[in-house]
Amino acid sequence: MPTRLLALLVTVAAAGGGVALTSCGAEEAAGVDAAQAAEATGKQGTARMTMSMKMSGLGLPNPMRLKADGVTALREPRARIRMDLGSLLALAGASRETKGGLEMLIDGADFYVKPPKLDGLRIPGDKSWVALDLRALAEAAGLPADGLGAIFALDPASQMRALKAAKGLKEVGKEDVGGVETTHFKGTYRLSDFIAGLPEAKRAQARKAVDAVKRIGGEDAGLDRPTPAELWVDEDDLMRRMRVSSKLPAQSGVPPGSFVIDYVLRDFGAKLDTTAPPASESYDATGALGKALKGLPRATR
């Protein structure tokens, strides 16, 4: 198992961490069904989460599937999640007998990853955890951290506000989710729809972030393409399930691809412990990764 797998594991963890069900700003949602579900769900404080993600294309020989479960906050970015890396390890050349789970701890911009113990995988200083300051990394890449957080949060409240802004939310039937009867909604939205639904102060920050991302990824970065989304809401207006799909355009020699993220909430009010691991057990990779990100094209003001 090559040592560079550590970087790959951290990257996947960061992507998974972005999917944590953090309904920040749920109380700001407005409208009828979507807003009621966002507010009611956010008031529960926390919930247990099960997530599955399927990535296709992107040069992968076969679709890659990842699963995760844990506890997440519902109003701010806080979560403790464990991800099954079986598919990723196989892609990296591990034997079929190799198994491993990756633990993620998210507390605001503080992000911690604990990779599984694998042959050839070593964290500097023989630490158990890798620590990252996501705000510092965004700034190192020349991206406005506040605006970036506003537009790239894959959480229920954000998705429901976007669907309302696009007026694309439609009821398609009744379905059972984990033994609970729910109403199934379906729709699409664009990033521009979501930004239009943000408070005025956040809209300006979000637009600056979009301009910065375009500078790095190119004008045709596909940021404003229609995004299909579905959600399942119970009779108490609690969001029980959500599915988001997206297509990724080809960039920098990487073929186009797509991903589908499906996550389910249960056990509202579950205990969430986001105590950071001791410094003696953590390697802070923010500085090293930040230096690499500074080499990216910078957005002009």
In the chain, what is the straight-line distance between the N-terminal and C-terminal CA atoms, in Å? 43
Q: Which residues of 166-199 are buried (b: 16+ CB within 10 A; e: fewer)?
A: bebbeeeeeeebeeeebbbbbbbbbbbbbbebbe
Q: Which residues, including other chains, have CB under 8 Å from residue 245's CB and lie 6 or more apart?
A: 227, 228, 229, 258, 259, 260, 261
- DSSP letter at 290 equals H
pLDDT exceeds 60 at position 64: yes
Torsion of CA 139, 144, 146, 147, to 10 degrees: -150
How far apart are alpha carbons 13 and 285 in whole angstroms?
A: 14
| Mean of pLDDT over the chain | 74
**Residue 210 binned pLDDT confidence (cut-offs 50, 70, 90):** confident
**Percentage of the chain with pLDDT > 70?**
66
> Which single residue is written with the structure tokens 């023989």?
126
Q: Model confidence over 226-283: pLDDT tens digits?
A: 778 788 999 998 989 988 887 776 666 678 888 888 889 999 999 999 999 999 999 9
Contact 51, 258 (CB under 8 A): no
State pTM to two decimals: 0.76
Q: Kindly state the average pLDDT of the residues 125-134.
A: 89
Q: Is the dihedral of CA 227, 228, 232, 237 positive or negative?
A: positive
Q: Which residues contact 24 (CB under 8 A, 6 or more apart)?
A: 75, 76, 77, 153, 155, 157, 158
HSE, CB side, 13 Å, CA atoms: give it for residue 74: 27
- pLDDT exceeds 70 at position 219: no
Classify strands 257-266 and 46-57 as parallel, antiparallel or unpaired: antiparallel
Residue-range domains of the chain with CATH: 5-286 (2.50.20.20)
Confidence tier at 165 by pLDDT (50, 70, 90): low
Separation CA 15–CA 62 (nearest Å) = 19
